[in-house]
């Protein structure tokens, strides 16, 4: 019996000693007390506590944590009551302060979040509240982070999850949004019609300019063609005169050429031909007149007047 009692004592001692060994995993911290007072904070690794004197007060997670608080009633500056629920992302930076700083950290953060949210929304009107989420989030994060610093908590982000105004306010907002969309649609339609009319007018203007430019170019080309024809005709006449002069033609030949020129001037339509006195002495004048009158394609000469 004596050996059995000793064996039991040995087993109990071994169990107690074994329970005094502690392995702290990753992203965990252990707060240890000695005789009721803070002794140390164990981080990742193997640790041993003195039995019956030291004890583990709290095991703390160092991971970032997310807390979704239920909707809180708030009143805006223009006396609109609505429900807003928030989501907070935080992490524990000091396990000792987290253990001894506040009795119930989560409840403290929830109440602090509600009061901070009421203070911020109370200075804003409804429209500003609905369009200033980023501003509200930033202000709340700054205030909560400063307030929770003595508790060993760091607030990383604060998000407004839902903003729920009263039902009648939602109906009024939907009607307002519908009217705004209809107004924008009317403006866009009017702008489209305006642009279409402008483009059509510009097209007509460009077409008129192109037609006028085409007429101008046609007139220029026609005038250039006539000028070129006149120049070529005058050049040919000058060349003919030059050749006649070089050939040493007599006065009779020149006068005959003049008579031919008068005949061509009549162009078969003249009813009266006036012959200068210089051509009257030509020997073949009668023959030339006969050839002119005998031309079947030319009308008969009604009257010939000889001018001296």
Domain residue extents for the chain: 2-61, 65-165, 182-248, 251-306
The Cα–Cα gap between 215 and 101 comes to 96
The mean pLDDT of 128-134, rounded to a whole number, is 86
Lowest mean pLDDT among 20-29, 99-108, 294-303: 294-303
Q: Please, which residues have CB within 8 angstroms of residue 97's CB and are 6 or more apart in sequence?
A: 150, 151, 152
The Cα–Cα gap between 155 and 108 comes to 13
Cα torsion 199, 201, 206, 207 to 10°: value is 110
41 vs 21, 31, 90, 140, 286, CA distance in Å? 15, 5, 20, 31, 149
Lowest mean pLDDT among 30-44, 170-184, 261-275: 261-275
Domain 65-165 coded CATH 3.40.50.300: no
- How many other CB atoms are there within 10 angstroms of residue 90's CB atom? 23
Residues 152-197 have pLDDT tens digits of 999 999 999 888 888 888 788 788 888 888 888 899 989 998 998 8
Q: What integer pLDDT is reported at residue 307 of this predicted model?
A: 41
132 vs 120, 159, 163, 220, 277, CA distance in Å? 11, 12, 11, 70, 113
Residues 206-241 have pLDDT tens digits of 888 988 888 888 888 888 888 888 888 778 877 777
| Residue 77 DSSP symbol | T
């Amino acid at each position: 019996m004596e050996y059995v009692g000793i064996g039991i004592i040995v087993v109990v001692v071994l169990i107690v000693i074994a329970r005094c060994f502690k392995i702290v995993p990753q992203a965990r911290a252990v707060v240890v007390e000695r005789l009721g007072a803070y002794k140390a904070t164990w981080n990742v690794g193997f640790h041993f506590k003195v039995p019956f004197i030291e004890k583990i007060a709290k095991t703390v997670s160092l991971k970032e944590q997310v807390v979704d608080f239920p909707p809180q009633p708030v009143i805006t500056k223009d006396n609109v009551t609505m429900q807003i629920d928030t989501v907070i992302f935080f992490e524990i930076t000091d396990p000792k302060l987290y253990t001894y700083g506040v009795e119930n950290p989560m409840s403290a953060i929830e109440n602090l979040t509600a009061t901070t949210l009421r203070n911020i929304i109370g200075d804003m009107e409804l429209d500003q509240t609905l369009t200033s989420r980023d501003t509200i989030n930033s202000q709340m994060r700054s205030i909560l982070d400063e307030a929770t610093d003595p508790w060993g908590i760091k607030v990383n982000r604060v998000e407004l999850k839902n903003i729920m105004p009263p039902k009648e306010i939602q109906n009024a907002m939907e009607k307002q949004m519908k009217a705004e969309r209809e107004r924008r649609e009317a403006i866009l339609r009017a702008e489209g019609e305006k642009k279409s009319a402008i483009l059509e007018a510009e097209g007509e203007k460009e077409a008129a300019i192109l037609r006028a430019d085409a007429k101008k170019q046609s007139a220029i080309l026609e005038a250039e063609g006539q000028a070129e024809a006149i120049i070529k005709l005058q050049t040919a006449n000058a060349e003919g005169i030059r050749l006649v002069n070089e050939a040493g033609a007599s006065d009779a030949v020149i006068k005959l050429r003049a008579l031919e020129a008068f005949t061509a001037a009549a162009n078969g339509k003249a009813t009266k031909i006036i012959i200068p006195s210089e051509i009257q002495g030509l020997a073949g004048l009668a023959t030339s007149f006969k050839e002119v009158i005998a031309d079947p394609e030319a009308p008969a000469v009604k009257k010939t007047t000889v001018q001296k």
